[in-house]
Amino acid sequence: MTILQANRFSSLVGEIYDAAVDPALRSGALEQVSHYVGGCAATILSRDAARLSIEIHQHFGTESRFRQLYRDRYVEQDPLLDRHLAFSAEQTIGVTDIMPHADFVATSFYREWVEPQGAIDLATVALERSDTRTTVLQVLRHRSRGTVDDSMRERMRLLAPHIQRSRIMGRQIRARSHTVDDLADVLDGLSTAICLLDADGRVVHANAACRQLFVDANLLAMVGDRIVARNTQADKIFRSLFEINLDDQTHSTGRRRIELMTSADGQHYLIHALPLRRERSLPRDVAATVLLVQKAAMVPSLVPGAIASAFRLTPSELRVLMAIVEIGGVPDIAAKLGIAETTVKTHLGRLFEKTGAGRQADLVKIAAGFTAPFAQRTSSDDDAV
């Protein structure tokens, strides 16, 4: 192989692997494969072991009517398709490996399918073989080029493992992409704001609830690709959380920190910061910390019963707990519920005793753990279903 030939081969292999990443490049890569091996048309197809079905994955240079004719009639007459089981892996098979070319020319497969496409010969090489299916690369040879020669066989043999690996890579990439898309959809359906940060504090991903939190900008906002808090108290807590989690990543302790923050409009939020385990060799722009931001608010139709059952709260104690979450101060709770402050303090003491909490902020954290995880649908969401 000359330097020019080696460069051409290397460039083609690159195109084959590029097609694994970008499916739009597959047709062009198959066209280049066909030209490189000396063919006028190429097809990647599969045949099941029971010989009941055939699937054409990619094609170049064949008209749709010939592809349909192959499926419907001539697949059973193809002398090469089912012969790979008898040959070594990646060995290119030409017609003359099966029969004299003169006999091939006399077949209806040649006269009615090969010749009308301007071809005189064909060769195939197995790409994947299993107990259930065989996938091959089929290349037609134009009459102007003569029959399949050793150069064509060798080039197909050299390209086969690269095409095979590219197909496997493509399947893995597509499967991972589907998984990522599905996960993003799930995260967008959660009421909790979830944000992934890299090792330098830049936002890698934010779910719908988190993006809305940034739009509202009462607690946190985005400046460039970084998060900033909207008031001094929140900023101090947020920075301490992030610094602690960076240290946790260094020591691989993986501690989760939870803090209570108050927004500019007086709403309470719980901030969870959890460092992700990561290899030291990974780039710094991969996700390193997960932030979960949860508004300290109750879902009346679901949460109170679960809390009351978990801690055996009386209806009065439960009302006080919910008021602590929504309002906060004892005087305001008393005014809201129409009871004396001493009564609120009595219920508060019982709540501390039953839940094990030591502060009102701890009660808020406990209650927030019972909030429904899914975002409530709007009427437009319901109409779309």
Q: Which residues pair with 260 in a beta bridge?
A: 270
In tens, the pLDDT along 298-347 reads: 444 446 777 888 889 999 998 898 888 887 788 988 988 899 999 999 99
Residue 249 has pLDDT above 70, yes or no: no
d(CA 160, CA 169): 14
Q: Give the pLDDT score at 243.
A: 64
Q: What percent of the chain has pLDDT over 70?
A: 84
Higher pLDDT, 372 or 80: 80
pLDDT mean over 261-287: 75
Straight-line distance from the first to the last Cα atom of the chain, in angstroms, rounded to the nearest whole number: 61
Q: Give the pLDDT score at 150.
A: 94
Residue 285 has pLDDT above 70, yes or no: no
**Confidence band for 381, pLDDT divided at 50, 70 and 90:** very low
Q: What percent of the chain has pLDDT over 90?
A: 34
Residue type, 116: P
pLDDT mean over 204-229: 88
**Confidence band for 359, pLDDT divided at 50, 70 and 90:** confident
Judge if pTM exceeds 0.85: no
Question: How wide is the angle at C-alpha 180 spanned by C-alphas 128 and 276, nearest 5°?
Answer: 115
d(CA 332, CA 326): 10
Backbone angles phi, psi at 283, to 5 degrees: -60, 155
d(CA 271, CA 193): 9
Residue 138 has pLDDT above 60, yes or no: yes
Residue type, 87: F
Q: 301-337 b/e with 16+ CB inside 10 Å = b?
A: eebbeebbeebebeeebbbbbbbbbbbbebeebbeeb
